[in-house]
Amino acid sequence: MHYRENAEMLQKSKLVLGDGTSLDDLIMRESNEVSLRVMTDEELYHLEMDKIFAKTWLLLGHESEIPEPGDFIVRDMAEDNVIVARSQDGEVNVSLNVCPHRGMRVCLGEAGNKRIHQCIYHGWAFRPNGDFIGAPVEREKMHGNDVDKKTLGLKKAKVHLYGGLIFATWNVDGPSFDEYLGDIKYYMDQLFCRTDNGLELLGPPQRFTLPCNWKVPGEQSGSDGFHTLTLHRSLMEGGVMGGTAESIYDQAPGMYGVDVSCKQGHSLRCLEAEKTFKMFADVPFEGKSTRERLELLTPPGITKEMIPELFRNLSEDQVNQLATIPPQVGGMFPNILIAFIFAPRTDGGSSGALALHTYVPKGPGKVEFVNYIFAEKDAPEQMKRDMLQNSVQQTGTSGTIEQDDADVWPVIMKNARGAVSKGITLKYQALHGHERPEGWVGEGLLYPGFTKDDTQWNWWLAYYDLMDAV
């Protein structure tokens, strides 16, 4: 059963655009369709900035980027530029990179270490936690005659660290991070909270821009598994995934598994390695215990030496899942893609690739693709080196998988501009419906079998919920 199957229960949205189009005309919950117009509409984009990007939790980086007090990076929460800095007390702070004096950017570099961030325009100065220190020529009170300095700090966002990942939100009184994650946390923990020392970002992220709306890659991050067979056909042709070039649709490697999702719009595709990748097809997993399975094939990014860490940090059920049907790809609403994949190499290795992307809106027709590449901190140097190469060769700027995505998205965007084309709907009507597989332990909305549209539709429902909220 789909979690909102009963159409009679649906209340009409009060959100109506200037031309009378309502949210229900764009996101058609009764027929599971989305109007292509959502990709180009300027008014909708500005509403999204207020209702989604100024409200929900957003990923800004990893704390391994700013190990020392004073270390900072500059990132974007949609079109709001922020300073992410570690203060003297060791805390991670996120503050708006906009000087409250005249609106200039306070910090112009992308990364570095500073105890004081001083605006180059008139010299107002701030601490790494955003607190106002003062304006030059203190005796003249250039910060204001009767203004309390405490009110002049940079605007601060609420911060949450999850497995070292830095999340922030402007919605200070809004849902906690755990409420935001919901039932998917059980599965996400298997990726982000599984080792003693956690993940390490291998370098500052790759950044590049695409001429398309953020929702074009966004809806795909809702675990679109199906596109892999056709768009990423070269994975099968190159012998990475199972099957041969002739049998791609018959064998459909990587299509069968368990897709997990939740009403917050996050999702993950859990896949058995032996049914996905050619090189693991003959691994004798039959009748093996969790520990034996882990010894035969460690999850992406994990070494045999790190297996005891999994048992220390996760529940037995979580380790069992990681050993049998680990989460591989998915996303967090609104704009995060997760790829923690086995990534078999041409030289026979398979140390894995761990990458996260954010799709940062830069206007209705532009998105910045930010690609974060990770390894486990405890992994040996050579493995980190291999994993960096795997990720660079398969994801992001030049990645042979994602080059093809980057080629499709701008074309969809071009189409969405046509007077007739914009009335075309995106169809999410190949639905499985929630079904709990036998013996499955985790919670959430579960879709076993062939990957279908359910998780992506849940992504749109999460979108609807935030846009509809007053």
Q: Which residues bind another protein (CB under 8 A)?
A: 62, 64-68, 71, 73, 108-114, 200-211, 231, 233-234, 237-238, 245, 346-347, 368, 373, 375, 381, 384-385, 388-389, 392-393, 396-398, 400, 402-404, 406-408, 410-411
Which residue, among 108, 76, 165, has the nearest Cα to 368 in the 3D structure? 76
Q: Nearer Cβ to another protein, position 189 or 376?
A: 376
Say which residue the tokens 């830069």 belong to: 362
- Give 70's DSSP letter: T
For 315, residues 6+ apart whose C-beta sits below 8 A from its C-beta are none
Cβ nearer to another protein, comparing 39 with 210 = 210
Q: How far is the CB of 80 from another protein (least distance, A)?
A: 16
Smallest distance from another protein to CB 40, Å: 17
In whole angstroms, give the CA distance from residue 397 to residue 372: 11
Under 8 Å CB-to-CB from 5, ≥6 apart: which residues? 433
Q: Could you give the 3-state DSSP secondary structure of residue 450?
A: strand
**344: cis peptide before it, omega within 30°?**
no
Length of the chain (residues) = 470
- Give me the least distance between CB of 178 and another protein, in Å please: 26
Backbone φ and ψ for 271, nearest 5 degrees, come out as -135, 140
- The answer to whether 293 touches 326, Cβ cutoff 8 Å, is no
- Give the residue with the Cβ less far from another protein, 223 or 394: 394
Between 208 and 249, CB nearer to another protein: 208
Closest CB to another protein among 234 and 421? 234
- Sign of the dihedral through C-alpha 189, 60, 174, 361: negative
Residues contacting 16, CB < 8 A, separation 6+:
22, 23
In the complex, the smallest distance separating the C-beta of residue 177 from another protein, rounded to whole angstroms, is 22
Residue 48 host element (H or E): helix 42-48
Burial class from Cβ neighbours inside 10 Å (0-12, 13-18, 19+) for residue 81 reads middle
Q: Least distance (Å) from another protein to the CB of residue 285?
A: 28
Instruction: Tell me how far, at minimum, the Cβ of 141 lies from another protein, in Å.
Output: 28
Q: Would you call 361 helix, strand, or coil by DSSP?
A: strand
Q: Which residues of 181-218 are buried (b: 16+ CB within 10 A; e: fewer)?
A: bbbbbbbbbbbbbbbeebbbbbeebbeeebebbbbbbb
Residue nearer to another protein on the CB measure, 320 or 335: 335
What residues are paired with 9 via a beta bridge?
Answer: none
Select 110 or 178, whichever has its Cβ closest to another protein: 110
Closest CB to another protein among residues 327, 361: 361
Q: Minimum Å distance from CB 261 to another protein? A: 28
Nearer to another protein, 65 or 219 (CB): 65
Phi-psi region of 137 (alpha: psi -120 to 50; beta: other; left: phi over 0): left
With respect to another protein, which residue has the nearer C-beta, 17 or 388?
388
Residue with tokens 């950044």: 207
Shortest Cβ 343–another protein spacing (Å): 12
Cα-Cα-Cα-Cα torsion 124, 128, 131, 136, nearest 10 degrees, comes to -20
DSSP 16: B
Q: Are 122 and 101 in contact (CB under 8 A)?
A: yes
Q: How far is the CB of 118 from another protein (least distance, A)?
A: 10
Give the nearest distance from C-beta 109 to another protein in angstroms: 4
Measured between alpha carbons, how far is 45 from 213 in angstroms, rounded to an integer? 9
Could you tell me the smallest distance in angstroms from the CB atom of residue 354 to another protein?
13
Provide the 8-state DSSP code for 140. Answer: G
Q: Which residues pair with 330 in a beta bridge?
A: 268, 338
Instruction: Report whether the peptide linkage leading into residue 205 is cis, meaning its omega lies within 30 degrees of zero.
Output: no
| Residue number with CB closer to another protein (41 or 71) | 71
CB nearer to another protein: pick between 160 and 377: 377
Task: Please state the closest distance from residue 312 (CB atom) to another protein, in A.
Answer: 24
